[in-house]
A and B are shown apart, each in its own frame.
Chain A
Amino acid sequence: MSIDKQDVQKIAHLARLALTEEDADQYQHSLSSVLTLVEQMQSVNTEGVEPLSNPLEMTQRLREDKVTEGNRRDEFLANAPQTEAGLFLVPQVIE
């Protein structure tokens, strides 16, 4: 299984990773080798086998609808790269 450079660019965009031309070449190679490894799976017949997403197959526990959290804005904002007036700031979003 190999993927082309356009695929690499598309995936990088979905994953929001900046990619240089050089990176793209490298990724094309390394992703292809991982995908080749992963291809082994296709030889196995899994018809009728249910996918397993949680090893214990437990079910969801429910939380009481209670407010347990107070306002910790200052602490929560302390790690942010840029804030103002209690808001996280990001480069302008154009709607």
Chain B
Amino acid sequence: MNWEVVIGLEIHAQLSTQSKLFSGAPIGFGAEPNTQTALVDLGMPGALPVFNKEALRMAVMFGHAVNAEIGMTSVFARKNYFYPDLPKGYQTSQMDHPIVGKGYLDVTLDDGTTSRVGITRAHLEEDAGKSLHEDFQGMTGIDLNRSSTPLLEIVSEPDIRSAKEAVAYVKMIHSIVTYLGICDGNMAEGSMRCDVNISLRPKGQQEYGTRTEIKNVNSFRFIEKAIYTEIERQADILEDGGRITQETRLYDPEKNETRSMRSKEDANDYRYFPCPDLLPVVLTQEYVDQIKTTLPELPSQKAARFQSEHSLSEYDAAVLSSSREMADYFESANDIVKDAKLTANWVMGELSKLLNQAQLEIAHSPVNAKAFGELLQRIKDNTINGKTAKDVFQLMWEGEGSADDIIEAKGLKQVTDTGAIEAMIQTILDANSAQVEQYRAAEPDKQKKMIGFFVGQVMKASQGKANPGIVNPILAKMLKG
């Protein structure tokens, strides 16, 4: 049978506040256990929550960025369940009245097509602590540092129809929250976590099939792989006439399979009700409008501008604007080079290659945008050619200094003096008279292939410093005789 896959995503983005959602305890990854907690984060008797202003501002910003209705009155509710890393026995979240209501995002795929993904809602909630399962006398250790850390849970409509689209959507959300500066987007540290809801239905059928939820998939690559394996698993069951059980599953990247999480509460009943320790959050239109004016240029807007202002292709513009750091790097470098195509090619080519090899984020590139721009400028002004530039860039990467220092120190400056080049070519033609004869006797299309030999000889003789742009026309002319 021909199956259609239906995907909806729940993304938890940890907001980059200084202090917690409901307490003045600090937030930080990797601190000693239980050293970043306040009374309310531990659920101590009589401790009370007070809501963080900055978390509210960040949530409203996000709402604007996804074209959403802002909840002018939002209400915190308690989600009640017992778990050792949930100290109060309930999670403070939002249910009927979230801070961000319906919105949407237009997602561009690699093939250039665009699809609209609806956003159902985004709500504020507190994170739980962590259970550490290393062996402590056969017991589990509880670290509550993460307890009450602010999360924005972004829930999509089941509008996504492929793994690729799901990844594109998550990347888009990732770039929006990092552009806004409301989340550091670090998936490895759990600052952004993703739950994927998947179901299959026969193509053409209206109603949805039974879905499963894959919890906590923590990289773009795993999201794609998890979806593929889950689609396969569900399709196998359905093809055999079986039924899908609605359940929560876990993706195991090592085995590349999903498996059922049986221990997670049989038939949960969360008994949501408005949290009586917190009051409705009521916004004024003025506040909401004011935040809108503070929104930075968003990825889609930036991509459009890159196309119109710098005449970049849609693909290049989308890649360069996918992260705020990359876009900023590109723009800073190009301010020096003033050749967007050249800069774009180098950012997406050589720079990205070295970053990937070193597994570095662009923000941590050993060559900053200014130094990078200065290097490209030397290509543009013909001081060095592209090939030499790659070598120079490698040396800059290794910390050997600026482009100009390296060019100077290694004597890599291109020979652009036409007289010197003519002399060099004459020497080569004299030394290779047989080849010159052959060339002159050949058909013009054969000549095109044969000229490479002479170019190679010139480059060899000049130790790569001859500017090919100058060599080629002179060589062609002199070969003609």
Contact B42 A85 (CB under 8 A): no
Contact B52 A62 (CB under 8 A): yes
Contact A67 B139 (CB under 8 A): no
A81 to B101, CA, bound (A): 43
Closest 10 CB pairs of A and B: A68-B24, A87-B141, A65-B54, A62-B53, A88-B142, A60-B279, A69-B38, A59-B282, A71-B35, A69-B25
Contact A86 B34 (CB under 8 A): yes
Question: In the complex, how many angstroms separate the beta carbon of A40 from the nearest chain B beta carbon?
Answer: 21
- Asked whether any CB of chain B lies closer than 8 Å to the CB of A53, the reply is yes
Q: Name the B residues within 8 Å of A68 (CB-CB).
A: 19, 24
Can you list, as one digit per residue, whether each of B241-259 has a CB less than 8 Å from chain A (1) or not (0)?
Answer: 0000000001000000000
Contact B18 A67 (CB under 8 A): yes
Q: Which A residues fall within an 8 A CB radius of B?
A: 14, 16, 53-54, 58-69, 71-73, 76-77, 82, 84-95
Contact A88 B53 (CB under 8 A): no
A94 to B132, CA, bound (A): 11
Contact B280 A84 (CB under 8 A): no
A87 to B42, CA, bound (A): 12
Most buried by B among A58, A62, A65, A85: A65
Contact A65 B53 (CB under 8 A): yes
A38 to B428, CA, bound (A): 106
Residue of A nearest to B54 (CB): A65
A71 to B82, CA, bound (A): 26
Within 8 A of A (CB), among B262-311: 263, 269, 271, 274, 276, 278-282
Contact A90 B84 (CB under 8 A): yes
Contact B141 A64 (CB under 8 A): no
Within 8 A of A (CB), among B108-142: 131-133, 136-142
Contact B24 A69 (CB under 8 A): yes
Contact A60 B282 (CB under 8 A): yes
A53 to B96, CA, bound (A): 14
* Additional A-B contact list (19), CB under 8 Å, known A64-B53, A76-B39: A59-B280, A62-B51, A62-B52, A62-B56, A63-B24, A63-B53, A65-B18, A65-B53, A65-B55, A73-B32, A85-B136, A87-B143, A89-B136, A89-B137, A90-B139, A91-B139, A92-B138, A92-B139, A95-B133
Within 8 A of A (CB), among B401-441: none
Q: Name the B residues within 8 Å of A93 (CB-CB).
A: 84, 131, 133, 140, 263
A68 to B38, CA, bound (A): 9
Question: In the complex, how many angstroms separate the beta carbon of B261 from the nearest chain A beta carbon?
Answer: 7
Q: Name the A residues within 8 Å of B76 (CB-CB).
A: 60
Q: Name the A residues within 8 Å of B278 (CB-CB).
A: 60
Most buried by A among B23, B131, B139, B144: B139
Contact B274 A66 (CB under 8 A): no
Contact A76 B50 (CB under 8 A): no
- Asked whether any CB of chain A lies closer than 8 Å to the CB of B33, the reply is yes
Contact B142 A87 (CB under 8 A): yes
A68 to B80, CA, bound (A): 28
Partner of A65, one of B17, B39, B144: B17
